[in-house]
Amino acid sequence: MPACFANAAIYTPHGIVERGRLIVDDEGKISAIDEAGLAVDPEMPVQDVSGLLLVPGFIDVHIHGGNGFSVMAGELEHLDGISTYHAAHGTTAFLATTTTAPLERIIHALEAAASAVQNCRLGGAELAGIHLEGPYIDLKRRGAQSKDDIRTPSRLEIEQLLEAARQQIRLVTLAPEVEGGLDAVRQLTESGVTVSAGHSDATYAEIREAVGWGLRHTTHHFNGMSPLHHREPGLAGAGLMLDDLTCELICDGIHVHPAVVKLLFDTKGPSNVCMITDAVTCAGLPDGDYGDVTMHDGQIYLKDGSSLAGSSLTMAQALRNAIRFTGYSLEAILPSLTSVPARQAGLLDAKGTLEEGKDADFVLLDPELQVRQTVVRGKTVYRRESN
């Protein structure tokens, strides 16, 4: 049903429309953004959102789970639970992200996610595709990924994974320096997939070569990669210096120090920083032990303490953190949660900005940047009532 959201400060690519209105058509697209107070169809429902900020929906290209649900379960119930949980924190679209695991388990998760993308509308955020993280990674930088299931990429196996995912894989994390890595970068790029360097011990020269074959992204920058050193810049330095690379960021103040968050934004600019949560199954649950990991004060580690193991971050908290850590304005930071991930996932034609003809995916924030309402394709999927 068409609807009008009136009297919000609307954040568009061309500036902020103060006390504006956004009209959604009967297909869940934005039909108009203009000034509130203009004539509207008297039969059209109007929601007065005075005092709120209407911003593009957050797009998370790196989610493993949340609220007890996991992508690797390979079940619609789990994908729907993830969708609903993250929608409550402003996420309107996400990529279901796999982990390094036995090949048959990865294929099962890919098939389930692909079916959900193509055949059903989840209860919260839209499942817009798949992020394959591993298994083609470097043992030295595996972090919390399974060491026993790391594999060498081959053309035939990649074709098998693409087929299992019904061409819904939009992002792949791999280590380009491993045997067959560069061939994998080229094959995936030619298949229309964005390729990311992550869990990688590559040198600066190896990353620069991979960029020549199509590498365009880095996974949770600074984490799970060869560090910046003045005699060998590594992947961390390459991400900072090479303009072709967009860098993911877990902005929880744990994975990356707040001062380094500011360094990344100052160096790359928000248009080349892609905010993610890397949220895992126990995100949103109480502190405690969960399988191979333990969570305390929101920090998630392997039980042996050897590595961080994902995060409990939400996109809304990442937004607030980034503003606090960098001193940048809301308007400046927003692309890193909206248009940048949309671009990297190949979704920018339909999502990532508030413009006529695009999907009506948006979030209403209060002045403290808390999520009040999340709308996906014109449908409210989360609402927090006023206290």
Give 284-299 pLDDT, tens digit per residue: 999 999 999 999 998 9
Rounded to an integer, what distance in angstroms lies between the CA atom of residue 322 and that of residue 250?
10
Look at residue 43 in the predicted model and tell me its pLDDT: 84
Look at residue 121 in the predicted model and tell me its pLDDT: 86
Look at residue 41 in the predicted model and tell me its pLDDT: 79
Residue 113: pLDDT over 80: yes
Look at residue 270 in the predicted model and tell me its pLDDT: 98
Kindly state the percentage of the chain with pLDDT values over 90.
94
With CA atoms as reference, report the closest residue to 225 among 250, 258, 243: 250
Cβ distance 173 to 137 under 8 Å?
Answer: yes
Residue 258: pLDDT over 60: yes
List 288's β-bridge partners, or say none.
295
Rounded to an integer, what distance in angstroms lies between the CA atom of residue 101 and that of residue 106?
6
**Mean pLDDT in residue range 126-134:** 98
Cβ distance 131 to 168 under 8 Å?
Answer: no
Q: Which residues are catalytic?
A: 278
Look at residue 279 in the predicted model and tell me its pLDDT: 98
- Residue 67, burial from CB neighbour count under 10 angstroms (0-12, 13-18, 19+): middle
- Is 126 labeled as ligand-binding? no
Cβ distance 265 to 322 under 8 Å?
Answer: yes
3-class DSSP assignment, residue 207? helix
- Is 269 labeled as ligand-binding? no
Six-digit token pair at 360?
């009506």
Rounded to an integer, what distance in angstroms lies between the CA atom of residue 307 and that of residue 172?
22
Rounded to an integer, what distance in angstroms lies between the CA atom of residue 224 and that of residue 328?
27
Which amino acid is residue 89, in one-letter code? H
Look at residue 387 in the predicted model and tell me its pLDDT: 57
Element (H, E) at 81: helix 76-87
Rounded to an integer, what distance in angstroms lies between the CA atom of residue 300 and that of residue 285?
11
- Is 221 labeled as ligand-binding? no
- Is 133 labeled as ligand-binding? yes
Rg (CA), the chain: 20
Contacts of the segment 240-244: beta carbons below 8 A, 24+ positions apart:
240/264, 240/267, 240/268, 241/204, 242/207, 242/208, 242/211, 243/272, 244/211, 244/215, 244/216
Look at residue 94 in the predicted model and tell me its pLDDT: 98
- The string of DSSP letters for 213-258 reads HT--EESSTTSSBPPP-SS--HHHHHHHH-TT-EEEEE-SSSSS-H
Give the tens place of pLDDT for each residue, 143-192.
999 999 999 999 999 999 999 999 999 999 999 999 999 999 999 999 99
CA 317, 4, 49 angle in degrees (round to 5)?
A: 45
- Domains of the chain by start residue, with CATH: 3-55+353-383 (2.30.40.10), 57-344 (3.20.20.140)
Residue 18: pLDDT over 60: yes
Cis peptide before 135 (omega within 30 of 0): yes
**In the predicted model, what is the mean pLDDT of the chain?**
96
- Is 231 labeled as ligand-binding? yes
- Is 165 labeled as ligand-binding? no
**Mean pLDDT in residue range 344-358:** 98
Look at residue 37 in the predicted model and tell me its pLDDT: 66
Residue 136: pLDDT over 90: yes
Look at residue 373 in the predicted model and tell me its pLDDT: 98
Rounded to an integer, what distance in angstroms lies between the CA atom of residue 240 and that of residue 247?
8
Look at residue 245 in the predicted model and tell me its pLDDT: 98
- Is 174 labeled as ligand-binding? no
Give the tens place of pLDDT for each residue, 28-72.
999 999 877 676 777 889 999 999 999 999 999 999 999 999 999
